[in-house]
Structure 1
Amino acid sequence: MSNPSPSAPPVDSHPAPDSGTASRRAGTLALAAAAVTVVLWASAFVSIRSAGEAYSPGALALGRLLSGALALGVVLLIRREGLPPRAAWPGIVVSGLLWFGVYMVVLNWGEQKVDAGTAALVVNVGPLVMALLAGWLLKEGLPKRLLAGMAVSFAGAAVVGLSMSGSGNASLLGVFLCLLAAVSYAGGVVAQKPALRHASPLQATTFGCAIGAVGCLPFAGVLVDEVGRAPVSATLNMVYLGLFPTALAFTTWAYALARTTAGKMGATTYAVPALVVLMSWVALDEVPGWVTLGGGALCLAGVAVSRGRSRG
């Protein structure tokens, strides 16, 4: 009879940390990219209101897109990324027309009719539409945590928007235009998501921006005329919109979108109204009240909820 030998310790009993570390690093980079996007998009609300005093909606959109496309094209050439694969083009074309084209024109127009808070509120209907479209068309589903975070953030966005719209400047046309911007934005994101399976974030952004600029070419004559009459500060704001909230922020958005769901990315943008309040406070000397600050806190809380991981 042989005595049982002591059991040897299992080999490789601990999982290799490499995959988990890489996943956490990718998640951190995606979150940082989303944060850059949110800050720059919030700054766009202030710049649009400033540049919109001298530029009409279509001319401002075209000038912004031309500046962005030029900057992105230079970077694309330096990186030698070339044309996107054929499979990416349908999504790039649709997102270029809807998000870079229609969205920017109607948002510029809407912000000439309503104040920044109301615009931020209505445009933030977009992530709700985006999550529903992504859950249906992209089969991303609608996790309870995402829906809960969106509900909290939308409540905060509503508080921010209503607290800033007490001047009575809001018009039915302006609200409708911002709603159209929200729907265009949501449709553009959902179209871009499949394209990012084939194209790099830089490719998707560069050619989407270029397509949007082509769609806005009917405003070229107006842009030329208005550039000659606009103050330098308005033109610099237009160029800023092209270089940062467009070229840089749309690229960091595409980078993050390629690494997470459209629903979660949409929920992240609910932080924008809170940042608009702070930037308006600094740049336009509009001091927010306590109700507005409370709404901004709700926006940020909802983002935290929606981006968290469920514990099972």
Structure 2
Amino acid sequence: MSSPASRERLGLLLGFIGMAIFGGTLPATRIAVAEIDPIALTALRTAIAGLCSLALVLVLRRPLPPRALWPQLVVAMLCVAVLFPLLMSMGMQRVDASHGGVVLGVLPIATALVAVAITHERPRPLFWIASVAGAGLVIAFALRQGGGALVAGDLFLFASVAVAAIGYAFSGRLTSQMPGWEVISWILVIALPLSIPAAVLTMPADISHIALKPWLGLLYVALFSQWIGFFAWNAGLAMGGIARVSQIQLLQPFVTFALAAFFNDETITLQIVLFAAAVVVTVAISTRTRAKAAPSVPQRNREPPQLAAS
């Protein structure tokens, strides 16, 4: 039987693996959309992950979720499995992965804001200050990178942050009713009636003209970003504790930068790193302040932290 210390170390390791997997989402998407249309990429990634999820729940003989949870599952499905990957892919057609890493770095704040609205919490003023500061930093970064104007890629990324925040907040509430891996699996299974027909209809006419790298990018976002990453992240939270493991997510933008430099040949400027670091600080302040503001909420009913891109 493992000791509590070894269990916690394993939880930290699994949390880091989950964070690193999600850190590769933007670089992999950037590679994939070079030759695969964003609509086709979204449909294929969700269909592949959905079929894997269906096989898993059938093998493990998991019962269908209670009928009362289906409305929340449908909302989470539309946001997490359809709109977020589609909007994010459209953004990655137009801006670098490192740029997207800064913009999506504010997603934990956006998710917290939605969760606060859903649960009617009353966070301390510092939470709101940090949230506004984080959003302001991201907008300032986008304006500076766009020469004083927001480019289309930024608008798609901002929209992806909004829908992902809603989806993550609802899926977070569902984790109080079932394990995290089951939540994402059922979300993807529910999406199959949409994703499979969409994948068939949008499949590139001549797949032989698509190089190997975009296919590998598709497989990465389908199997790892959309599915396996959630298993590692949720297992890490359960084994290592939400308070400790959730702090690992602060490293995610920098993992994205490193992978974008290596796989996408992007130049990571000092400006990008500084803006990302500032956003990370606001995320850390807002999440910690919110946690301290609601000590009466039972731990099992709090949504687990969600990562910036999945």
- After TM superposition, the structure 1 stretch with the greater mean CA deviation from structure 2, 217-226 or 36-45, is 217-226
Asked if residue 176 in structure 1 is aligned to residue 155 in structure 2, the reply is: yes
Q: 1:78 to 1:144 in 2, by over 3 A?
A: farther
Q: Structure 2 vs 1, CA of residues 300 and 31 (structure 1 numbering), >3 Å: closer, same or farther?
A: farther
Post-superposition offset of 1:145: 6.7
Q: 1:112 to 1:130 in 2, by over 3 A?
A: same
Aligned counterparts of 1:25 and 1:303: Cα–Cα separation in 2? 28
- 1:52 Cα offset (Å): 0.5
Q: 1:36-185 alignment to 2 at 5 Å?
A: 36-143=17-124, 165=145, 172-185=151-164
After superposition, what is the alpha-carbon deviation per residue over 1:216-254, rounded to whole angstroms, capped at 9, x for unaligned? 433522215253432222112211111111111133445
Residues 112-150 of structure 1 deviation map (CA, whole Å, 9 limit, x = unaligned): 122223323333443333212211212454356755765
Structure 1 residue 44, shift from structure 2 partner:
0.9
Compared CA separation, residues 38 and 72, structure 1 to 2 (3 A):
same
Equivalent residues in 2 for 1:1-312 (5 A)? 33-143=14-124, 165=145, 172-216=151-195, 217-225=197-205, 227-254=207-234, 269=249, 271-302=251-282, 305=285
Structure 2 unaligned regions, length at least 5? 296-310
Match of 1:18 in 2: none
Deviation at 1:34, TM superposition (A): 4.4
**Partner SS, residue 159 of structure 2:** helix
Q: SS of the residue aligned with 1:225?
A: coil
Query: Structure 1 residues 245, 238: CA separation in 2 closer, same or farther (over 3 Å shift)?
Result: same
Residue by residue, what CA displacement relative to the aligned partner does 1:143-174 show, whole Å, maximum 9, x if unpaired? 567557657766776787678x47x7x96322
What is the CA–CA distance in structure 1 between the aligned matches of 2:22 and 2:141, rounded to whole Å? Answer: 16
Q: How has the CA–CA distance of structure 1 residues 127 and 279 changed in structure 2, closer, same or farther, with 3 Å as cutoff?
A: same
2:79·2:166 contact (CA, 8 Å) conserved in 1? yes
**Structure 2 length-normalised TM:** 0.74
CA distance in 2, matches of 1:37, 1:64: 18
Q: Which of structures 1 and 2 has the larger relative contact order (alpha carbons within 8 angstroms, sep 6+)?
A: 2
Give the letter for the 1:290 counterpart: L
Percent identity between matched residues is 20
Moved more, 146-155 or 38-47: 146-155
Higher mean Cα deviation, 73-82 or 109-118?
A: 73-82
Native 8 Å contact 2:84 2:163 kept in 1 = yes
1:271 deviates by 3.7
> Separation in 1 of the partners of 2:242 and 2:70?
21
Say if 1:114 and 1:171, in contact at 8 Å, map to a contact too. Answer: no
CA distance in 2, matches of 1:153, 1:32: 28
Deviation, structure 1 residue 276: 1.6
One-letter amino acid of the structure 2 residue matched with residue 223 of structure 1? M
Q: TM-score, normalised by structure 1?
A: 0.74
Question: More displaced, 102-111 or 219-228?
Answer: 219-228
Structure 1 gaps of 5+ residues are 1-20
* Farther off after superposition, 92-101 or 121-130: 121-130
Which residue is 1:7 aligned to?
none
Given residue 205 of structure 2, which amino acid in structure 1 is its aligned partner?
A: D
Shift of 1:108: 0.6
- Partners of 1:153 and 1:268 lie apart in 2 by 18
The root-mean-square deviation of aligned C-alpha atoms, in Å, is: 3.8
